[in-house]
């Protein structure tokens, strides 16, 4: 007995009971049964169907003795088998589709809209995209409002990393940061990802669902387009195939430019600004791959992609409009005002910039010292001191004797706590101002302020005598006629009185305080405290002037 006969015998013994009963019920047994009894019976096709084998011929060759037995198999005997296989296959496919629709219900939603309205499929895809984005729009507005609140609260928060030599661990500093954030009711930073965490999954859900409908030749998709994209199941082809890929890439580039406009990058300094700059370059680089990816996506999915990107462009342009921003409450009414130094040190009349310089992109190396000074003051007004210092250094490198740059640099370094460097720049400016042959009212005002800052810088370093010398130079000047300069002059006398009181020179301090009270009677409390030899005079004066330096 051959190996094939053994296998056929085993298969015959495993025949289902239903098949055996069908054979036993056959009223016309095979007349050649006796001749076949000497060899194993060949299983019928019904028995092999249970093992998913189409025919027994794959196991053995057909013999002459088999012909009569196989002839008894009527064509109708195989029909139930084919019907059962088709039914099982259809059930598996339908079950898979039902499972996918239960997870991705977008296809059923689009089908319902199409049956309800009877509109072409491309209109259904575009309108559903607009409906989805408009549904998510309130979340975007809420996120922008929360981010605006975070931007207002962030300057009031302590640094996220522990300051040098503070002795705090990272966890302790983060704990302090979170405590202060809650104290001032600052929203959580997770709001930065709120809209993206919802919009991006919706984008993928719509994209994959429409792509599946296109690739599966959904009914109506083959004629549901218009113009050059009549068939939504096809990929872009022909002479107008470039339109969709070009739209996808172009809209992506426009959205990147709107998201990372020049003002937003310039107002972001430090490491975050550098990362934003490189991330923008990365997104711009993706424009070219997106163009070629557009050729590999069905036109039904491209209709969705172009509609979604177009809505994003319109949304960004609208939200940047002042009227829309004011209506939605997104404008920052509490934006920081320009500090006094920008009003006193630099005015539009002192440095002229023509319109071409204002609007064209110019490298800082190509700017004049006056232009660099204006740029540094703008950076200081927005809180970017590090970048402002680099601009001032560049201006002083081009013109080491630029008085206003020396003054602004000295004052900025004083605010940064770099007292030695601040003293150097301020004293250089003082020497230049004293050498002015015919000082103007503006020069006098600059000299008074510079002497005050130089005195404070020296006293902060512990060199009190040198600081008092600078403050006494203010007292040696004639009282200015200009109201603003006069106010700064008496502020200098008040600082001098405080320094003298600390050194125990009460009589001299009282003399200058009387001059101050004669100019501003609201300072009378300082005079009374000094005359009564109260130490609280110095502390109160320092507290009242702390915000000026």
Would residue 380 count as lying in a domain? no
Min mean pLDDT across 88-92, 373-377, 461-465, 522-526 is at 88-92
In this structure, what are the phi and psi dihedrals at residue 229, rounded to the nearest 5 degrees?
Answer: -120, 65
Taking only the tens place, the pLDDT of each residue in 169-194 is: 778 878 888 888 888 888 888 888 88
Q: Residue 77 in contact with residue 69, Cβ under 8 Å?
A: no
Q: What is the pLDDT of residue 290?
A: 93
Min mean pLDDT across 10-24, 103-117, 241-255, 384-398 is at 10-24
Residue closest to 456 by CA, chosen among 418, 430, 495, 487 = 495
Q: Is the predicted pLDDT of residue 273 greater than 80, yes or no?
A: no
Q: Is the predicted pLDDT of residue 365 greater than 60, yes or no?
A: yes
Q: What is the pLDDT of residue 354?
A: 42
Overall domain count for the chain: 3
Q: Are 156 and 11 contained in the same domain?
A: no
Min mean pLDDT across 39-43, 126-130, 148-152 is at 39-43
**What mean pLDDT comes out for the span 10-26?**
43
Q: Is the predicted pLDDT of residue 374 greater than 90, yes or no?
A: no
Q: Are 199 and 324 contained in the same domain?
A: yes
Q: Are 149 and 216 contained in the same domain?
A: yes
**What mean pLDDT comes out for the span 196-209?**
88
Distance from C-alpha of 218 to C-alpha of 209, rounded to nearest angstrom: 11
Most confident of 9-23, 323-337, 361-375: 361-375
Would residue 436 count as lying in a domain? yes
Q: Residue 267 in contact with residue 294, Cβ under 8 Å?
A: no
Most confident of 34-43, 252-261, 336-345: 252-261
Taking only the tens place, the pLDDT of each residue in 493-515 is: 888 888 887 777 878 878 878 88
Would residue 77 count as lying in a domain? no
Q: Record the pTM.
A: 0.46
**What mean pLDDT comes out for the span 266-278?**
66
**What mean pLDDT comes out for the span 387-410?**
83
Q: Helix axis angle, 524-531 relative to 483-502, nearest 10°?
A: 20
Q: What is the pLDDT of residue 272?
A: 63
Q: Residue 419 in contact with residue 400, Cβ under 8 Å?
A: no
Q: Are 410 and 526 contained in the same domain?
A: yes
Q: Are 68 and 126 contained in the same domain?
A: no
Q: Are 163 and 312 contained in the same domain?
A: yes
Range of the domain at 170: 121-235+297-328
Give the percent of the chain with pLDDT over 70: 67
Q: Are 53 and 160 contained in the same domain?
A: no
Distance from C-alpha of 4 to C-alpha of 9, rounded to nearest angstrom: 9
What CATH number does residue 469 fall under? 1.25.40.10
**What mean pLDDT comes out for the span 320-348?**
58
Would residue 54 count as lying in a domain? yes
Give the percent of the chain with pLDDT over 90: 14
Q: Are 415 and 475 contained in the same domain?
A: yes
């Amino acid at each position: 007995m051959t190996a094939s006969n053994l296998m056929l015998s085993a298969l015959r013994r495993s025949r289902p009971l239903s098949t055996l009963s069908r054979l036993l019920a056959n009223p016309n047994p095979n007349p050649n049964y006796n001749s076949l009894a000497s060899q194993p019976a060949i299983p019928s096709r019904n028995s092999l169907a249970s093992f998913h084998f189409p025919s027994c011929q794959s196991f053995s060759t057909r013999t002459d003795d088999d012909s009569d037995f196989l002839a008894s198999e009527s064509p109708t005997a195989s029909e139930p088998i084919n019907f059962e296989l088709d039914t099982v296959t259809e059930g598996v496919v339908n079950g898979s589709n039902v499972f996918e629709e239960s997870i991705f219900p977008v296809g059923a939603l689009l089908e319902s809209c199409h049956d309800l309205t009877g509109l072409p499929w491309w209109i259904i895809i575009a309108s559903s995209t607009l409906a989805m984005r408009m549904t998510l729009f309130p979340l975007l507005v809420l996120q922008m409002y929360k981010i605006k609140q975070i931007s207002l609260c962030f300057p009031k928060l302590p640094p996220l990393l522990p300051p040098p030599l503070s002795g705090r661990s990272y966890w302790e500093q983060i704990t302090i940061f979170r405590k202060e954030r809650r104290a001032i009711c600052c929203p959580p930073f997770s709001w930065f990802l709120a809209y993206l965490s919802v919009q991006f999954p919706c984008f993928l859900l719509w994209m994959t669902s429409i792509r599946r409908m296109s690739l599966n030749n959904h009914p109506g998709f083959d004629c549901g387009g218009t113009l050059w994209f009549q068939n939504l199941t096809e990929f872009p082809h022909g002479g107008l195939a470039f339109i969709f890929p070009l739209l996808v890439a172009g809209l992506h580039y426009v959205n990147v430019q709107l998201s990372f406009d020049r003002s937003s990058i310039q107002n972001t300094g430090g490491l975050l600004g550098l990362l934003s700059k490189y991330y923008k370059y990365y997104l711009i680089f993706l424009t070219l791959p997106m163009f070629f990816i557009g050729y590999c996506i069905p036109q039904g999915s491209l209709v969705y992609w172009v509609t979604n990107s177009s809505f994003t462009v319109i949304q960004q342009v609208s939200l940047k409009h002042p009227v829309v921003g004011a209506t939605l409450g997104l404008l920052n009414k509490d934006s920081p005002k320009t500090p006094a130094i920008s009003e006193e040190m630099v005015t539009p009349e002192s440095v002229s910039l023509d319109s071409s310089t204002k609007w064209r992109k110019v490298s800082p190396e190509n700017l004049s010292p006056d232009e660099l000074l204006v740029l540094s003051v703008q950076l200081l007004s927005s809180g970017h001191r590090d970048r402002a210092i680099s601009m001032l250094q560049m201006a002083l490198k081009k013109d080491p004797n630029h008085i206003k740059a020396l003054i602004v640099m000295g004052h900025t370094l004083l605010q940064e706590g770099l007292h030695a460097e601040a003293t150097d720049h301020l004293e250089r400016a003082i020497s230049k101002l004293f050498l002015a042959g015919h000082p103007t009212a503006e020069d006098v005002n600059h000299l008074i302020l510079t002497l005050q800052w130089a005195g404070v810088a020296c006293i902060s370093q512990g060199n009190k005598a040198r600081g008092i010398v600078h403050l006494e130079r203010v007292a040696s000047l004639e009282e200015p006629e200009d109201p603003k300069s006069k106010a700064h002059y008496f502020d200098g006398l008040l600082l001098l009185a405080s320094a003298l009181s600390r050194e125990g020179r009460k009589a001299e301090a009282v003399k200058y305080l009387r001059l101050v009270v004669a100019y501003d009677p609201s300072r009378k409390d300082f005079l009374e405290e000094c005359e009564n030899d109260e130490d609280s005079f110095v502390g109160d004066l320092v507290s009242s002037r702390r915000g000026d330096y």
